[in-house]
């Protein structure tokens, strides 16, 4: 996130946390809006990049999911895509791949200041990895509810906000869905 955008975001989160008596799980309504999506433009930029990674995963013969990690200055630290089919490992989700690669490449201090952007809301397994890596914020494109309607199943598709709210550690701030209409395009025709 650029410093000025991050400062606005953090100031808003702090203000809302004080007003509500806790850490918010969604961005405050007074955040700057862009078009009709209700998202900050910097979030849209990174969500579009996550969607591109999802499209690459699909082209590579995998499930259409992509993720990236962005540092506190708005620089992309690392990217990952789903590799479950080509690696023959059901745990190779984009977010899990990302957390594994990031944990090897960066300090826990760097991870604790980063934002994870993902094309689709993280599943329970990926939420666990995000939590244990102490990544403090997640921004997603397609919601679990929308994905469930596309794949015609809701097995293990739970809102990540609910998962993160159950933790005793500092809660992960969740923003999304962002650009959901764009995020679902990569799923069309894939889930049959």
- Give the separation between CA 91 and CA 101, rounded to whole angstroms: 14
With b for 16 or more beta-carbon neighbours within 10 A and e for fewer, the 71-90 pattern comes to beebeebbbbbbbbeeeeee
Using only C-alpha atoms, the chain has a radius of gyration, in whole angstroms, of: 16
Element (DSSP H or E) covering residue 2 = none
Q: Which of 139, 148, 151 is nearest to 9 (CA)?
A: 139
Query: Residues 95, 162, 180, 182: which is the catalytic one?
Result: 95
104 is catalytic: no
Catalytic residue ranges: 95
């Amino acid at each position: 996130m650029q410093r000025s955008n991050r400062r606005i975001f953090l100031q808003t989160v702090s203000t809302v946390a004080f007003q509500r008596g806790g850490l918010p799980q969604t961005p405050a309504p007074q955040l700057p809006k862009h078009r009709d999506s209700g998202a900050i433009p910097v979030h849209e930029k990174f969500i579009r990049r996550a969607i591109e990674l999802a499209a690459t995963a699909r082209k590579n013969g995998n499930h259409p999911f992509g993720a990236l990690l962005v540092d506190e200055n708005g620089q992309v630290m690392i990217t990952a895509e789903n590799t479950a089919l080509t690696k023959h490992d059901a745990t190779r989700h984009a977010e899990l791949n990302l957390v594994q690669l990031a944990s090897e490449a960066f300090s826990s201090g760097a991870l604790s200041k980063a934002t994870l952007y993902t094309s689709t809301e993280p599943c329970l397994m990926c939420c666990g990895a995000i939590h244990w890596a102490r990544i403090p914020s997640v921004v997603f494109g397609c919601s679990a509810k929308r994905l469930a309607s596309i794949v015609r199943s809701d097995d293990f598709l739970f809102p990540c906000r609910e998962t993160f709210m159950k933790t005793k550690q500092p809660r992960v701030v969740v923003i999304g869905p962002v650009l959901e209409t764009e995020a679902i395009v990569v799923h069309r025709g894939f889930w049959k």
